A and B are shown apart, each in its own frame.
Chain A
Amino acid sequence: MSVDKATVQKIASLARIAVSEEEAERLVPELNNIIGWVEQLGEVDTSNVEPTTAVIPNTLRLREDVVTDGNVRDDVLANAPQAEHGFFAVPKVIE
């Protein structure tokens, strides 16, 4: 499988990263080199192999169903690029 410029632009759009025409051009061979290299995994017979879900056996724990945090609004907002009236502010979403 190899990617072309249109695919690079599609991936960039899925990843929400703006790329210019020139960047997309540059990324085509870079990504193809890497993708071509990882494709050697295709030669491994994995027909009876389960994909890894956890490297060290562990069980998912349950905790008591109680509130353990909250009342930290100002801490949560402290690093926001734009916080107004106790909210995160973003550009207008609905016209």
Chain B
Amino acid sequence: MSELTDFGVKRLRDGVRSGEFSAREVADAFIVNVSKAKELNAFLVETPDHALAAAKAADDARGRGDTLAPLAGVPIGMKDLFCTNGVQSAAASHILEGFEPRYESSVSQRLWDAGAGMLGKLNMDQFAMGSSNETSAFGNVVSPWRRTDGGNAPLTPGGSSGGSSAAIAARLCPAATGTDTGGSIRQPASFTGITGIKPTYGRCSRWGVIAFASSLDQAGAMARDVTDCAILLEAMAGFDPKDATSLDAPVPNWEAGLNPSLAGKRVGIPKEYRMDGMSPEIEALWQQGIDWAKDAGAEIVEVSLPHTKYALPAYYIIAPAEASSNLARYDGVRYGQRDLPDGAGLQDMYAATRAAGFGDEVKRRIMIGTYVLSAGFYDAYYTQAQKVRTLIAQDFENAWGLCDLLLTPTAPSAAFGLGETTDPLSMYLNDVFTVPSSLAGLPAMSVPGGLDKQGLPLGLQIIGKAMDEQNVLNAGLALEQRAGFTARPDAWW
């Protein structure tokens, strides 16, 4: 039954509903794939019992003739940033090793209520800080993709949701949750030839999602096509009184609203994203995307987002500032690891616990955040960054006077080799195209556009107006139909 693992969310849901195959067969097939793929290091914890219990519930419901839940029969992967009841939730950090929450995050609860089962917890960059998965305390994920040069150099699956992207591309799960603070859904989707959407800030509850930068963190859906993303996101989104920034708005039926025509839509091409030294392959892909949008009926307009170049530096003040505050809770007292040197007092225990528990990138960001928030520097750094953020959001508002959607590349390159990017600043530049929309809280998605000369996937990004996920998904579908992306990595693992 190995072909079941080639099916996506919609196909599995419909097949279980119609009785073409059982949910148990689906769960078994994916559990086998997960267990055979240890080399990818995509899963930190495997939870076959969870997936099998959900499958049994789906099969039993069908046996009784009940209406099946929206995701009945669909097993998924859960990023390790989501707290899951009784299952280790460590944000891929040593400091939370062994932490088994006694509660369920709102988003994961919604997915279980919708009938989905969990195959396991997916590896990621530690506390979602990273763009390559190399900051995980449990070893990096290896992308299932390899260059066609025969060198077999291990590549990054992107980050921070790199366990999610690798697992979906390798057919270990049909879909997974991701979270996106500055591009952590879209860049890994682009690197692995899959699809991922970050909805409007506030669509998905942050309750029970281990916090990185609260004004930016947003959960989203990752899958192999746009329709599957729409189905998964529909189950994840919705008002939650437990999150003060949750949006009290109805969740549209995005799947039913899918329409690949862009007739009457104006698609903006932001000229500032055409950067000096841009790779010709990325430029060619972007032009291809523009041609596809035209072919789907869109009118193409050039727009200007003049503050684009300031988005990354603003992000690297705001996100670390929020992280330094959010991560103050890891004190070795209430949960997670404790390091108590002989004879140490409370303050020494805090410092030793945090030194031993956090990885280098996490420490670096906490320290940057502590610095920019410290007395005497707060206004020069943090307040200025939040003012620049206002200007970046205004740029988008002005663009919406001229267009309905924006089309850009997702990332400035294809996946790079593990260990190839060691300088933190060069790593940060991966998010140059994804960070501005994060700062403005806008919905954005990445869809595969094609392969580069090395045989690696490249993604196109669509950015929409706040609350307008439907048009983002529709444009994604229009590109997807024209790209006809069917490439997949050969199973070497």
Residues on A lying within 8 angstroms of B by beta carbon are 1, 3, 7-8, 11-19, 27, 30-31, 33-35, 37-42, 44, 46, 49-56, 58, 60-61, 63, 72, 75-76, 78-82, 88, 90-93
Q: Which residues 355-407 of B sit at the A interface, judged by CB distance below 8 A?
A: 355, 358, 363-364, 366-368, 370-372, 374, 377, 380-381, 383-391, 393
Kindly specify which of B23-31, B334-342, B471-479 makes contact with the partner chain.
B334-342
8 contacts between A and B (CB under 8 A): A16-B331, A17-B355, A35-B371, A55-B440, A58-B202, A79-B101, A79-B102, A91-B346
* B352 x A18 contact (CB < 8 A): yes
Q: Which residue of A lies closest to B438 (CB)?
A: A55
Instruction: Give every chain B residue within 8 A of A90 (Cβ-Cβ).
Output: 333, 346, 349
Q: Which residue of A lies closest to B248 (CB)?
A: A61
Expressed in whole angstroms, the Cα–Cα distance for A52 and B307 within the complex equals 15
Instruction: Give every chain A residue within 8 A of B364 (Cβ-Cβ).
Output: 27, 30-31, 34
Most central of A33, A38, A51, A93 by chain B CB within 10 Å = A38
A13 to B: closest C-beta gap in Å: 8
Expressed in whole angstroms, the Cα–Cα distance for A41 and B200 within the complex equals 26
* B351 x A18 contact (CB < 8 A): yes
* With contact pairs A37-B425, A92-B345 given, residues A12 and B381 touching in the complex (Cβ less than 8 Å): no
Instruction: Give every chain B residue within 8 A of A11 (Cβ-Cβ).
Output: 367, 370-371, 374
B424 within 8 A of A: yes
Residue among A38, A41, A79, A91 making CB contact with B336, cutoff 8 Å: A79
Instruction: Give every chain A residue within 8 A of B102 (Cβ-Cβ).
Output: 72, 75-76, 78-79
Residue among A30, A54, A61, A91 making CB contact with B349, cutoff 8 Å: A91
* A19 x B391 contact (CB < 8 A): no
Instruction: Give every chain B residue within 8 A of A88 (Cβ-Cβ).
Output: 333-334
Q: Which residue of A lies closest to B309 (CB)?
A: A40
B100 within 8 A of A: yes
Expressed in whole angstroms, the Cα–Cα distance for A81 and B96 within the complex equals 11
Q: Which residue of A lies closest to B340 (CB)?
A: A91
Prevailing SS type, chain A contact patch: loop
Chain B interface size, under 10 / 10 to 19 / 20 to 34 / 35 or more: 35 or more
Instruction: Give every chain A residue within 8 A of B245 (Cβ-Cβ).
Output: 54, 56, 58
B19 within 8 A of A: no
A11 to B: closest C-beta gap in Å: 5
Expressed in whole angstroms, the Cα–Cα distance for A48 and B90 within the complex equals 43
* A44 x B366 contact (CB < 8 A): no
Expressed in whole angstroms, the Cα–Cα distance for A19 and B370 within the complex equals 15
Expressed in whole angstroms, the Cα–Cα distance for A7 and B376 within the complex equals 13
* With contact pairs A51-B389, A63-B241 given, residues A81 and B336 touching in the complex (Cβ less than 8 Å): yes
Instruction: Give every chain A residue within 8 A of B259 (Cβ-Cβ).
Output: none
B290 to A: closest C-beta gap in Å: 28
Residue among B334, B363, B388 making CB contact with A79, cutoff 8 Å: B334
B370 to A: closest C-beta gap in Å: 4
B179 to A: closest C-beta gap in Å: 16
A6 to B: closest C-beta gap in Å: 13
* A35 x B334 contact (CB < 8 A): no
Residue among B247, B310, B344, B348 making CB contact with A40, cutoff 8 Å: B310
* B345 x A93 contact (CB < 8 A): yes
Q: Which residue of A lies closest to B103 (CB)?
A: A75
Instruction: Give every chain A residue within 8 A of B347 (Cβ-Cβ).
Output: 16
* With contact pairs A18-B352, A52-B393 given, residues A41 and B374 touching in the complex (Cβ less than 8 Å): no
Contact mask B2-36 → A, CB, 8 Å, 1/0? 00000000000000000000000000000000000
* B390 x A14 contact (CB < 8 A): no
Expressed in whole angstroms, the Cα–Cα distance for A90 and B386 within the complex equals 38
